[in-house]
Structure 1
Amino acid sequence: MTDRATSADPPAAEPVWLFDLDNTLYPYACRLFDQVDRRMGEFVAGYLGLDAVEARAVQKRYLREYGTTLTGLMRVHGLDPERYLTYVHAIDLSPVDPAPELDAALGRLPGRKLIYTNANTGHADAVLNKLGIAHHFEAVFDIVAARFTPKPHREPFDRLLTQHGVDPNGTVFFDDMPRNLAPAADLGMTTVWVESDSEWARLEYTGEEPFVHHRTRDLTRWLDARAGQAPGRIAKA
């Protein structure tokens, strides 16, 4: 006989859908992040007194070595992060269109929805409002909440789980950079790579990583195909 749940059994945890922001919730093709990337280079050039070519090399070296350009500037040069975050996110959001189909797909997902971004909350809120999907998300866990330790480091994932009471085994995590999926998979999350043509998104990716459980170029379609499913029912295949 199959055991049935009783009133003494703890309630099942709500499923959690955890989304990166840039190039994940809006399409890479709109090239919004190109503006951020360009302003990063401008900031590095001005802050370190470099020409554009030298600044680009430093910017991308710090991305590879520290996870974000910001983290490298903080650790190597003692940068005040607020200066940087304010500058690089002063961008034009007009390339981002409202996303009613994504809005509807998110509305069909059961459970909780959160954002985890290496950007700051101000940028996340602006993008989510432009997309028309901000009302779906209970919280944004940003680079400030992560104490300026970015993905793919493990520590901010642990902090997010504790702060928001998230069970990783009932969570699906979406990101446009495969290497950011590794700590999520180690924690027990199901991972989805939102794939694009960005060369930098594939940083350190070989194509054989076991921590990429699913991949899609169409987030809305992927979500629609799983409407009504809890994360625990989505195979790590």
Structure 2
Amino acid sequence: MDRIFFPLVLVIASLLLHACEADSNYRFKDEATNENGTTPETGGYPDDGSLAFHENFQSWKREGYINQQFRDCETDQMTTAIIMYQPDVPVTKTYDGFQVKYSMKDYAVNPVCGNKAGTSAKDSEVSTGYIALQGLIFYECGGHDSEAELVLSELPSVSKITFSISYGGNVEYVGGITLWKKVKGQSSFTRIGDYRPVDPLEGELFTVTLDEKNVQLKFTPAISDKGTGVNDGVLSNRSVRIHDLHVWSMAE
């Protein structure tokens, strides 16, 4: 009897966990299609050391929130406060003839809101519009940690980047951003560093020199001093917001 009962419990538990995560638009890895898809067009990418592109997320579609219609910048709850969230395909943006693909997990896009201090403007360093990456939490529903990340498709060259970040939600549980890079031919990303604004409510602009060719960039939430929390639907609404991203090419 015990030999039959135990496997049956495992099957039922597996089905329940699969169902609760399926409600969130989260794709299990064994069900996922190729996230990169076709290679983005990079023919118009500059090779003179000039600014290749600037993204402030103001033209993006709002997504990743429990309430589909915008109500309030600070109380609208991210889906990831409850359960994991991942889109079906990357977002592709075109800049002066070349394309960049953005692959994301455990995030929300807000094209109209700014920093928690309320000082953001459309053209300020910490501007309105951002991608919010979920601070590290443990999902009791699926029995795993959050996996928030923003990954850019391979870029022909990067001399330096600037990016502005601030914190949202329950900010004491947010630890800033970690920047990673992966050069063509490498099998995994290399950590560059952690970046934390002095005033997380106001936000801050950071500059990082890379001088790399054929490189991918990845942003993930840095772990806060509080460590990993458990999703509770209220305190879990914590995130690091990436407001602006500038990428400069290398001079040939």
The answer to whether TM tops 0.5 is no
TM-score (norm: length of structure 2): 0.23
TM-score (norm: length of structure 1): 0.24
Instruction: Give 1 or 2: higher helix fraction.
Output: 1
